[in-house]
A = this chain, B = another copy of it.
Amino acid sequence: MVRQKIQIKKIDNLTARQVTFSKRRRGLFKKAQELSTLCDAEIALIVFSATGKLFDYSSSSMMQLIQRHNMQSEKSNKFGQQPLHTQMGSSNHGMISKELTDLTTELKQLMGEELQGLGMNDLMKLEKMVETGLSRVGKTKNEKLFTEISKLKTRQAELIEENEWLKQQAEKFDCTRNAMEQGSSVESMTNSLGLVHCPEEEDRAVSDTSLKLGLPFSNGN
């Protein structure tokens, strides 16, 4: 029996913790549902047990709620510390989400009204209409998402290419420095840029290079 109020800290006993988790989790989900029903709120609840098991509830679509959440929390974010492309992405999702919501609502209403006095054949036709409508929304949504993915991939390819080039440059310079330290004159070194063979260069990790690069400056830092 609950003779004492418990402390809100991690329960030591494993069994007790599991039992409590199970019971309180149910309670929490029940409360969430009740709140949703009573007050017409939209709720998403995600719970991972300590063992990694997933429990979730959402009053409507989990995805839509999550997207809405992303939108809202981004809006309250004064300055996007994030690069442009990520901002574009999210707002894009928001637009899609709204579109989807609007159209779905419209279709549902349409269907609800029509249903009042129609026969089977008409119902079948309506079903078709709804399917078509949903399919069109889905298609649009897909197109936007795929466009975004495509853009991201393109950008990524550019970045990778740029990085590769930069790394190569870095390696060349690195090589140059080695040559210098071996006593080459500045002139010959300059001329041999990119031609001096660097034995350790090929499979050297970039981090190694970076260490070398950073070394001469370490005094100054």
User: Hey, what's the 0/1 contact readout for A101-140 against B, CB within 8 Å counting as 1?
Assistant: 0001000100100010000100110010011001100110
Could you tell me if A34 and B8 are in contact, using CB atoms closer than 8 angstroms? yes
Cα distance A70–B37 in the bound complex, in angstroms: 25
Q: Which residue of B lies closest to A153 (CB)?
A: B86
Q: Closest approach, in angstroms, between the C-beta of A207 and any C-beta of chain B?
A: 4
Could you tell me if A100 and B138 are in contact, using CB atoms closer than 8 angstroms? yes
26 A-B pairs in the complex with CB atoms less than 8 angstroms apart: A11-B38, A17-B40, A21-B38, A28-B28, A28-B31, A43-B46, A44-B46, A45-B46, A48-B68, A54-B72, A61-B135, A63-B143, A108-B127, A134-B134, A149-B149, A165-B210, A166-B166, A166-B167, A166-B170, A180-B180, A181-B186, A185-B186, A186-B189, A205-B219, A206-B220, A209-B221
